[in-house]
């Protein structure tokens, strides 16, 4: 019965052109995609990019979906009506139709912690759910299963778009350490470089402190936070290395055993380093 | 403002989709239901996928040879069959796909073919499909082929191959086949595939030399061409395409040496040389620089 209902609902939505675009999105060759695994700094980049492209009308959670829309919130038809070139947010694993991508990768140990609190915020796990239960499921790719696992997601884009003329592969940690330098690289890909002061201004307008203030104002309206627990923030710590105080050594080992080789290749130092037996099976 | 024509086209499209969804006849495609024991036969288009389907079908159903009419109920192609139809097939299933990397495919046999031969085959295929005129120069086709313009959802040859090999090569549940090895020594490759399928929970497969010999004969280009002549009007992949251009074409490897213009050859090798070499395809232009070899590896 629920299957028939789902089919019916899908059919009606298809008739009205209301199904979210997602993977069915019509892709134009000039589209720019901000791509990442969830909780890896995607929203921050949307703010940075939006503020870079139009500093006179700063990005907030109230207008971000109209400036840098997320492909899961709008139908293909709605997105077709947007001015081109479009800048779109996506969490898809490799999609060969995406020609211009800004990919951001983040230390999976920090992603794990961030995703843990975010899942609690979204009520997909209950308050007090043990990290010991969460981490193995995260490693198995059970959360956001349409994305694949963290490693599959990262590798699929890294292999195909890292050394690609119109694409960029960023690390969240570099963005935190040198936001202006990294945003300048983004500006280059967007052909939005050349106006002095713009990059610095966009970084300022997209600070964690400012984003937290805006979240307080708009979080009950924004699609992504509407209906979630308001006592847990969407803009959380916005720093790197938080896993050191949050994850026990065995949990860190679980992550490093699964993805150690890829983490090392991306320049993430392993806690369990030196014994040589970590890495991809 | 959308034109009236556009509005009608959209409305008809939406109606067709709705009707298909409501009656369970929507083509599965990327939305195919995946079972944990499924094996996907994946390749870029024109890389020997149909031939491999014949080989595997004849290997698995040794008493009832594969034709173009029964292939879709044996090893169905996900782009031509509704999910409901494929869900009802006996498991474990073998399914044909052209997707680039899909994390949820549990077992994958990936067929790769020399892109210089793929280019020629794909060129003729696009003439057959009416996408380009008969006299369209192959030298104009190749740059568009490199950019992946003809099959947008599957990406370019490079994107398709690299996305699979970078993620799955060397892992259990992934078998990489080269079309050229299958041409040269089909029995050895088939024995390897049989062992792989048995490891993926398929029943025991008769892979004795005489069984393999018969399987290969039943899947020969001559037999496939004869079957195509009889059945092309009914098979979903050739229905409505030009009859004067065959689907089963030369079925050879190395045709590029005589058919590919020098500039097209150079274009392919300079775009994909590193990846080609890592797959064992010798370049006409000689060894490429190490920076190109690093395609697909983390540097």
How far is A98 from chain B, CA to nearest CA, in Å? 9
CB–CB of A264/A146 below 8 Å?
A: no
| pLDDT over threshold 50, residue B297 | no
Q: Do B295 and A163 touch (CB under 8 A)?
A: yes
Mutate which: A96, A148, A163, A267, vs B, most B CBs within 10 A = A96
pTM of the model: 0.87
B14 within some domain: no
The DSSP string of B1-12 is: ---HHHHHHHHH
Minimum CA–CA partner of A28 in chain B = B152
User: Which residues fall within 8 angstroms of residue B45, CB to CB, at 6 or more apart?
Assistant: B98, B118, B122, B125, B151, B154
| pLDDT over threshold 60, residue B77 | yes
Q: Do B154 and A96 touch (CB under 8 A)?
A: yes
Contacts of B158 in chain A (CB under 8 A): 160
Mean pLDDT of chain A, nearest integer:
90
| Percentage of chain A lying above the pLDDT 70 cut | 95
The DSSP string of B130-197 is: TSS-TT--HHHHHHHHHTT-SSGGG--HHHHHHHHHHHHTTSTTEEEEEHHHHHH-HHHHHHHHHHHH
pLDDT of res. B292: 45
Contacts of B159 in chain A (CB under 8 A): 94, 96, 160
pLDDT of res. B30: 81
Minimum CA–CA partner of A15 in chain B = B14
pLDDT of res. B14: 75
| pLDDT over threshold 70, residue A275 | no
pLDDT of res. A83: 94
B109 within some domain: yes
Q: Which domains does chain A have, with CATH numbers?
A: 29-265 (3.40.50.300)
pLDDT of res. B237: 77
In sign, the C-alpha dihedral spanning A90, A93, A98, A103 is positive
- Average pLDDT value for residue range A200-207: 95
CB–CB of B296/B275 below 8 Å?
A: yes
Mutate which: B14, B23, B173, B272, vs A, most A CBs within 10 A = B14
Q: Do B294 and A16 touch (CB under 8 A)?
A: no
- Average pLDDT value for residue range B81-102: 94
B11 within some domain: no
In sign, the C-alpha dihedral spanning A216, A218, A220, A225 is negative
Contacts of A94 in chain B (CB under 8 A): 100-101, 159, 163
pLDDT of res. B210: 96
pLDDT of res. B197: 97
Q: pLDDT confidence of A233, banded at 50, 70, 90?
A: confident
- Average pLDDT value for residue range B65-74: 93
| pLDDT over threshold 70, residue B134 | yes
- Average pLDDT value for residue range B173-182: 97
CB–CB of A97/B149 below 8 Å?
A: no
What is the per-residue pLDDT across B277-290, written as a single tens digit (0 to 9) for each? 999 999 998 765 54
| pLDDT over threshold 60, residue A183 | yes
pLDDT of res. B242: 80
B222 within some domain: yes
B270 within some domain: yes
Radius of gyration, alpha carbons of chain A? 19
| Percentage of chain B lying above the pLDDT 90 cut | 69
Per the structure, how many domains does chain B have? 1
CATH code, domain carrying B135: 3.40.50.300
What is the per-residue pLDDT across B45-69, written as a single tens digit (0 to 9) for each? 999 999 999 999 999 999 999 999 9
Minimum CA–CA partner of A163 in chain B = B295
Where is average pLDDT lowest: A139-143, A145-149, A274-278? A274-278
Q: Which helix (H) or strand (E) holds A33?
A: strand A32-35
| pLDDT over threshold 70, residue A281 | no
Q: How far is CA A8 from CA A201, B12, B172, in A?
A: 49, 18, 39
Who has greater pLDDT, A144 or B189? B189
How far is B208 from chain A, CA to nearest CA, in Å? 33
> What's the per-residue H, E or C state across A50-61?
HHHHCCCCCCCC
> In whole angstroms, what is the distance from residue B68 CA to residue B54 CA?
9
Dihedral, CA of residue B174, residue B179, residue B180 and residue B186, to nearest 10: 80
HSE (CB half, 13 Å, CA atoms) of A211?
21
Residue from A161, A97, A90, A268 nearest B166 by CA = A161
B19 within some domain: no
| pLDDT over threshold 90, residue B108 | yes
Classify residue A169 as left (phi > 0), alpha (psi -120 to 50) or beta: beta
Q: Which residues make beta-bridge pairs with B175? A: B109
Q: Which residues make beta-bridge pairs with A100? A: A32
| pLDDT over threshold 50, residue B291 | no
> In whole angstroms, what is the distance from residue A27 CA to residue A25 CA?
6
Minimum CA–CA partner of B170 in chain A = A281
CB–CB of B87/B78 below 8 Å?
A: no
Hey, is the C-beta of A234 within 8 angstroms of any chain B C-beta?
no
pLDDT of res. B129: 86
HSE (CB half, 13 Å, CA atoms) of B40?
27
Who has greater pLDDT, B274 or A281? B274
What is the per-residue pLDDT across A41-93, written as a single tens digit (0 to 9) for each? 999 999 999 999 998 999 999 999 999 999 999 999 999 999 999 999 999 99
How far is A236 from chain B, CA to nearest CA, in Å? 29
Give the closest of B15, B163, B298 to A160, CB-based. Answer: B163
| pLDDT over threshold 50, residue B171 | yes
- Residue B261 belongs to what domain range? 24-293
Residue from B66, B75, B69, B70 nearest B95 by CA = B75
Give the closest of B30, B156, B295 to A23, CB-based. Answer: B30
Q: Which burial class, exposed, middle or buried, applies to A238 when counting CB atoms under 10 A from its CB (0-12, 13-18, 19+)? A: middle
B10 within some domain: no
Where is average pLDDT lowest: A10-14, A226-230, B124-128? A10-14
Minimum CA–CA partner of B272 in chain A = A160
What is the per-residue pLDDT across A79-133, written as a single tens digit (0 to 9) for each? 999 999 999 999 999 999 999 999 999 999 999 999 999 999 999 999 999 999 9
| Percentage of chain B lying above the pLDDT 70 cut | 94
């Amino acid at each position: 019965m629920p299957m028939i209902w789902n089919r019916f609902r899908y059919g009606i939505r298809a008739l009205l052109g209301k199904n979210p675009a997602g993977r069915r999105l019509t892709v134009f060759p000039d589209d720019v995609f901000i791509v990442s695994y969830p909780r890896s700094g995607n929203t921050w980049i949307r703010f940075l990019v939006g503020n870079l492209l139009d500093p006179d009308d700063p990005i907030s959670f109230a207008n971000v979906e109209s400036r840098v829309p997320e492909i899961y919130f709008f139908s293909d038809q709605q997105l077709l009506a947007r001015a081109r070139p479009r800048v779109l947010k996506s969490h898809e694993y490799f999609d060969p139709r995406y020609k211009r991508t800004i990919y951001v990768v983040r230390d999976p140990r920090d992603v794990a912690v961030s995703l843990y609190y975010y899942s609690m915020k979204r009520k997909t796990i209950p308050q007090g759910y043990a990290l010991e239960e969460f981490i193995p499921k995260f490693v198995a790719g059970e959360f956001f299963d349409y994305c694949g696992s963290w490693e599959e997601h990262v590798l699929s884009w890294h292999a195909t778009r890292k050394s690609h003329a119109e694409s960029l592969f960023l690390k969240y940690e570099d963005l935190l350490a040198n936001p202006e330098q990294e945003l300048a690289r983004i500006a280059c890909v967007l052909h939005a470089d050349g106006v002095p002061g713009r990059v610095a201004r966009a970084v300022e307008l997209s600070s964690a402190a400012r984003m937290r203030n805006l979240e307080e104002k708009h979080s009950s309206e924004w699609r992504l936070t509407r209906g979630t627990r308001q006592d847990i923030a969407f803009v959380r710590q916005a720093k790197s290395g938080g896993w050191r105080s949050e994850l026990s050594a065995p949990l860190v080992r679980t992550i490093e055993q699964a993805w150690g080789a890829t983490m090392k290749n991306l320049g993430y130092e392993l806690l369990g380093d030196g014994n040589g037996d970590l890495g991809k099976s | 403002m959308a034109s009236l024509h556009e509005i009608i086209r959209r409305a008809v499209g939406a109606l067709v989709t709705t009707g298909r969804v409501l009656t369970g006849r929507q083509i599965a495609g990327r939305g195919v239901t995946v079972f944990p024991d499924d094996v996907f036969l994946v390749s870029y288009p024109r890389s020997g996928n149909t031939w491999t389907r014949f080989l595997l079908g004849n290997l698995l159903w040794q008493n009832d040879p594969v034709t173009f009419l029964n292939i879709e109920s044996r090893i169905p192609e996900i782009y031509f069959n509704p999910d409901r139809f494929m869900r009802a097939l006996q498991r474990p299933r073998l399914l044909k796909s052209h997707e680039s990397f899909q994390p949820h495919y549990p077992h994958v046999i990936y067929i790769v073919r020399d892109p210089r031969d793929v280019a020629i085959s794909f060129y003729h295929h696009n003439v057959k499909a009416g996408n380009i005129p008969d006299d369209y120069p192959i030298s104009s086709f190749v740059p568009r082929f490199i950019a992946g313009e003809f099959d947008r959802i599957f990406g370019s040859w490079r994107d398709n191959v690299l996305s699979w090999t970078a993620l799955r090569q060397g892992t259990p549940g992934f078998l990489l086949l080269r079309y050229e090895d299958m041409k040269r020594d089909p029995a050895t490759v088939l024995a390897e595939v049989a062992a792989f399928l048995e490891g993926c929970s398929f029943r025991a497969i008769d892979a004795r030399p005489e069984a393999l010999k018969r399987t290969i004969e039943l899947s020969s280009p001559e037999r496939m061409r004869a079957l195509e002549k009889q059945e092309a009007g009914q098979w979903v992949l050739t229905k409505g395409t030009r009859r004067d251009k065959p689907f089963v074409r030369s079925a050879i490897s190395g045709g590029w040496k005589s058919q590919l213009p020098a500039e097209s050859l150079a274009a392919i090798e300079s775009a994909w040389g590193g990846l080609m070499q890592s797959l064992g395809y010798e370049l006409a232009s000689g060894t490429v620089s190490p920076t190109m070899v690093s395609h697909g590896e983390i540097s």
